[in-house]
Amino acid sequence: MKIWIVTTGEYSDYCVVAICSTKEIAERTKQLTGSNNDVFGMEVDEAINVVPDGFFGWSVDMDRNGNAVNVENYVVTERSQLRALPYGINPRHHHLNVHNCYNFIVVAKDVQSAVKIANEKRVQIIADNGWFEGDQAWSRWMQHLKKKI
């Protein structure tokens, strides 16, 4: 069974406004609440199939040298969230002065394993000439991905 989720806000202000049975109801709820967030659908219990028992989702911010500058638990609800993305300055962690890192979303048993997986992905990205830094990191990363398709 598919449900549709309406949210509002972001980061510490993020919250679920409604869980709806159809996309149409969710879109109408979004309109009524004035939310700028996208409505998204997911199968009931879908998250259970993404992260196996004994594993957890992790967000790892890592610099080019392999230093994990920030690691936190991350709720993974769909496979498309498992990724690596560059950013010049991560707005979520502006207070940490985190610059020119990539954010890796991984599934692992513990923090050490999450950092190891992120580091292996970092090495692959560098070997593939895909590590970009600075203000243009995001657009250059997207161009790099398009060339690989």
Question: Could you report the per-residue pLDDT of 90-129, keeping only the tens digit for each?
Answer: 444 444 445 678 888 888 899 999 999 999 988 988 888 8
- Nearest Cα residue to 88 out of 79, 96, 99: 99
Cα separation, 37 vs 45, whole angstroms? 22
pTM of the full structure: 0.57
CA dist 78 → 41, 45, 57, 62, 81 (Å):
10, 11, 11, 22, 6
**131-139: average pLDDT:** 71
Predicted pLDDT at 108: 87
Is residue 61 within 8 A of residue 98, CB to CB? The reply is: yes
User: What mean pLDDT value characterizes the chain?
Assistant: 78
Tell whether the model's pLDDT for residue 30 goes beyond 90. yes
Asked if residue 149 has pLDDT above 90, the reply is: no
Confidence of residue 68 (pLDDT cuts 50, 70, 90): very high
* pLDDT of 110: 93
What is the pLDDT, as a whole number, of residue 69? 87
Which of 45-54, 72-81, 113-122 is the least confident region?
A: 45-54
